Amino acid sequence: MDFTPSSAQQMLVSTAREFLRRHCPPERVQAWALDERGFDEKLWCQMAELGWPGLLVSPELGGSGGSMLDVVLLVEQMGYACLPGPFITSAVVVTSLLAAAANADQPKRLLPALASGELIATLALTEENGSGDPDDVALACRVPGRLTGRKLFVKDAHVADVLAVVVRESESLGLVLMPADRRGISRIQLAAISGEKMFEVVFDDVEVTAADRLGAAGYGGALLTPALEAGALARTAEMVGGAQRILDLAVEHARTRVQGGRPIGGYQAIQHACADLVRDVDTARGLLYLAAWKAAEGLPAASDVAMAKAHAAEACLAVARRGHQIFGAIGYCEEHPLHLIHKRIQGAALDFGDAQHHLETVARSIGLR
């Protein structure tokens, strides 16, 4: 295994870092979090010009044919900048769903528009039980037929053009893709401490046609599993990027904050606290890169993804909490980026399966059932 980024990946990272430094300063990120829309269409168009939404789309359909390792490297920079928006749900999760259903009509029709940023898509999975496990999906729908019910915690549904809805068809899972403005669909915004825009999506006798089904009947679960793994990897990268930002901020603070006649970084307690941050960030990143490399190489990666997500959920939250101890009161102020990065890490830790969910996957992989 060689995790050294290729020249193309190094260019992707350096371009992303400079672009996000210029366009996502802390004051703009804070303003987006407080804004009802929480999303900058102009910035999304600029990201599309860089080709980011098309990373996982084949060149034949207007993308760049990249890998999950490319996505992880990019999203890590997005997490560092605390960038809001629908990139993960649209350009990673739903794009992965469509790419896996390569023989269906929808990929050829939707992937070029998703790659160009013209369309935005989101996934509607979670229901009243709050579980992100597909096995817990109960919303029934016959295809063709009518759909009545609701989905919760649907991210960026207010800017999505396409909804990928996970339903229960008889005893198996199904996936239906439908326009977000179809008659009978409504959205109710939910409160989220992270500043991300979450919605309850209500389906009131919505028409579902045979053309809306993604893939063959009964194979929705097979399409959904790798897409959820891609989402978990991307959210892990976001957490690692955020934790690295906290580490950098904490070290700079320790070097410049003077107390008792010398910088607080001269005190052993602060030195050891910063060393703890390095340990947690580096171990989380190592597990993330291993899982992303396996996914990019087409190797079995389910347990590696689960291990990376579970560990990052705990390690990156520990970084955020220790960061507050190092900064003291200023870290709780809205003017300082730490509080928002902490909240984003908290949200990402729960998305696409929390630590407990992923630890169960790891336990099953070693024969404990």
pLDDT in tens, 109-119: 999 999 999 99
100 HSE (CA, 13 A, CB side): 23
Stretch among 78-82, 307-311, 330-334 having the lowest mean pLDDT: 330-334
d(C-alpha 113, C-alpha 99), whole Å: 13
Q: Which CATH superfamily is domain 221-365 in?
A: Butyryl-CoA Dehydrogenase, subunit A, domain 3 (1.20.140.10)
- Select 121-216's CATH number: 2.40.110.10, 3.40.50.620, 3.40.1350.10, 2.60.40.420: 2.40.110.10
Same fold flag, 121-216 and 221-365: no
pLDDT, average across residues 186-205? 95
**Interior angle at CA 17, CA 66 and CA 20, nearest 5:** 105
3-state helix, strand, coil in the chain (%, to 5): 55, 15, 30
pLDDT, mean over the chain: 95
Taken as a whole, the chain contains a residue count of: 369
Looking at residue 301, its pLDDT comes to 97
- For residue 171, what pLDDT is reported? 85
Rounded CA-CA distance 78/237 in Å is 9
Averaged pLDDT for residues 127-156: 95
Rounded to two decimals, the pTM is 0.96
Q: What pLDDT band is residue 217 in, cutting at 50, 70 and 90? A: confident
| pLDDT confidence of residue 343 | 96
Q: What is the pLDDT of residue 40?
A: 92
Query: How confident is the model over 239-259, as a mean pLDDT?
Result: 97
Q: How confident is the model at residue 81 (pLDDT cuts 50, 70, 90)?
A: very high
| DSSP states along 287-333 | HHHHHHHHHHTT---HHHHHHHHHHHHHHHHHHHHHHHHHHGGGGGS
The pLDDT value recorded for residue 234 is 98
Q: Are the beta carbons of 242 and 339 closer than 8 angstroms?
A: no
Residue ranges covered by each domain of the chain: 7-116, 121-216, 221-365
Top CATH class of 7-116 equals: mainly alpha
DSSP 85: S
